[in-house]
Structure 1
């Protein structure tokens, strides 16, 4: 069964619609990362991937980002809801923080003034909140839940959506991920000594960690391709749980390798069929070493590989969907006869000790038809998905 990705919405530090993300892939690479005040407990201004359209102090920022995404899908959603019963449309969203920042500010107000904000409710920070918000806003009645496996959350949401369609439990699924900035993640990753002092440098010799980001990536997935003009489908999904360590990846990449092999097998593809790999590429010392080893083992050294986290930041639970979305744009644009520039790594020396893979180091205009996107998370929650054009 094909799981068609009929339409896409993207919101990240690169912009609040797919056009902004196309611009980032259309010419000279630009990062959406900038120094942001107000989240670091020590008063520092780390580089973060903030959605600039929404002030940091605005309430309900996670839902506001979801609204920006849903607005991009209006035409396809209208067509979908006119042809598919509400109880046959599911919602599956990956997240790691939901709207915890509102909870952080609410607790601060309660501590200062002894009262909670008028419009705050604790459910805003529950992990099922993003999925429930979408379902309620669109008056849907189908299965609705969130997946939270840290940085692989929304890749696994896409996999779960495909499985739901295959099982006949729904006829369409609104799926993807949503995560917003908060003090918990900014200071938590800082405490792990995993954050970069500047803009992150995936696979660099001097890499020093990640930049936390936020955003939303949403797809409309169905069994048929007649809800939009796209010809892109989720071809294969792989996942593993190596449980090597709470926060560090298994050094030899065993779990990552298993997930990538599983995705290839489900898609009935071989390594040579993959035109581009969007790497998890966090720019931490251990992740990049593990992932390079895994890609070299499974795919080899010919396929172009790059990370996009120096453009968007690490959007945690939304990362898998956003990065799959960038692959979707690359595939759809080549189908339309346009050529985009792959994310690339320039301006710094790559780590020569890494396993040999074909890292993109300069503006490279490619027309990929099949892409693999990797997401590797705390606790060994690994996911690899393959999307591609179907004629």
Structure 2
């Protein structure tokens, strides 16, 4: 037979050369479901179809970050701050390391904060913002606000606290630092003080900027602010103030102005600010405090910091613990995760109104990438930071 008679037409041969193998979308979903989060975040840039699939994929889901803090010479200290991802599926296994940052020169750590996949890592000496998914770390410049005030009678050991959040108007991320310029407590119940507030806008500022007005109230130091809908919420230090605070101090990241956010009116007299806890839960602001009977924990909810309309949503059995050792952290399905005491977490099912789980942070297995061993040999645990985390590609 002649070769020309059996050969396919030129157009058909060209079509076979240029045709692209088709992978069913269902198969793509299966493949993506087995990839780590970091790979999914990169592959979300391939095309719109993949981005849509990955944005809904169960693998890209909120989890918890755990950061053990240890004691050295009686002070909270970490040569290296290590963030671990904690998921139920990893029970019994060593928690995977998400990020490790050298903090050997910083000594005193503050509470961490999370916003849109970015983690605020503040200490007395330095402030860092990191994205564990992209492995990027930004060290903020030094500021005079980091220097402690002149020594005096009964001056607190710490003089500053931090907050971190997103400014919806400028679409920028901001770090705020509250600090005492001076504080003098002679011991007679009177406390004299001056305060300040600095702001650093990531991607814009080269140095910290002081706000046009100083904070009108003294804040609790080393208590990281709660971010909610463009505002940072701090607890006022009623001991330094010398009287009952009118509420929580709200700092707007849009106009960088201060206002007072009132608490639930029925709770005002029994509200002890150093013990209560604020958190964002499913798009609402949650206030956890001791119940009037001292046997329950009340969870009050609102969705507005300007003119909050509080409603008591839940009443939970205290089980011999109270805020802030009963801090709401996150909600997974119908379970609220609470940080209980210094070393454990509890889960409370909102439907069954029962506790479903308790994990002691000390009992989890931690792989130390510095020593190559499990745990923290020779160190005593001080406490554990536990915070919700959703990976993202937000640049810093």
TM (normalized to structure 2)?
A: 0.28
- The higher-RCO structure (CA 8 Å, 6+ apart) is 1
TM (normalized to structure 1)?
A: 0.28
Write 1 or 2 for the structure with the bigger share of helix.
1
